[in-house]
Amino acid sequence: MRFERTCLPALWSSPFARWQGELAEIPALDLAAGVTTDALARWRLPAAELDEVVLGWTVPQRRGFYGAPTLAGRIGAPRATGPMVSQACATMAACLRLGAAGVESGDRRLSLVVTTDRTSNGPVVLYPRPAAPGARPTGSTGCSTTSSTIRGPAARCSTRPNGWPPRQGSAARSSTT
């Protein structure tokens, strides 16, 4: 799609901080809300006139399920809503394209694109086993049992299908004839 009616009237960024530094304990959505509210006021962009908020982030965080509508409400745009985008190393590009497409198509008049993340103190994600009681994750520590190299907590997994992969320090046997 060629963008002919879309522009970026304002750009801003939060402060950068060292990993595990002063912003490590602040949830990304809180930081985004504060920085965005300040920037909208500085640029004299009325939040109440927003049609859409596109929120990009890649690292899951608490209270992030309703990320875009939550951010919209916190910045003073309670009627705006929109998608959350997670595109690995291209989240910003995907968000800009999505926000611009809404304006370009005429579905939106004013779209706000916000990307935010917190990589310090990232979550530990456990993947459930649907067939297990209560969808209990694999192993007592929730570790994966499919890796051929077992280190750290994964070395303590008690569930090993057919004894594979072998416990750390044990040798896999093979026979050749």
In a domain, 40, yes or no: yes
The 10s digit of each residue's pLDDT in 163-177 is 444 455 544 444 443
List of residues 6+ apart from 128 with CB closer than 8 A? 135, 136, 137
What region, left, alpha or beta, does residue 169 occupy, with left being phi > 0 and alpha being psi -120 to 50 degrees?
left
* Residue 127 falls inside a structural domain: no
Name the residue with tokens 């002063």. 22
172 within domain boundaries: no
- Indicate whether 71 and 106 sit together in one domain: yes
Q: Which pLDDT band, with edges at 50, 70 and 90, does 139 fall under? A: low
Q: What is the DSSP letter of 98?
A: H
Question: What mean pLDDT value characterizes the chain?
Answer: 80
User: 92 and 53: one domain?
Assistant: yes
Residue 143 pLDDT > 60: no
pTM flag (> 0.85): no
Q: What is the C-alpha separation between 8 and 100, in angstroms, rounded? A: 9
Same domain, 138 and 106: no
**Containing structural domain, residue 49:** 28-115
Q: What is the pLDDT of residue 148?
A: 44
Lowest mean pLDDT among 68-77, 78-87, 166-175: 166-175
Cα distances from 121 to residues 21, 53, 62, 75, in angstroms, run: 10, 26, 12, 25
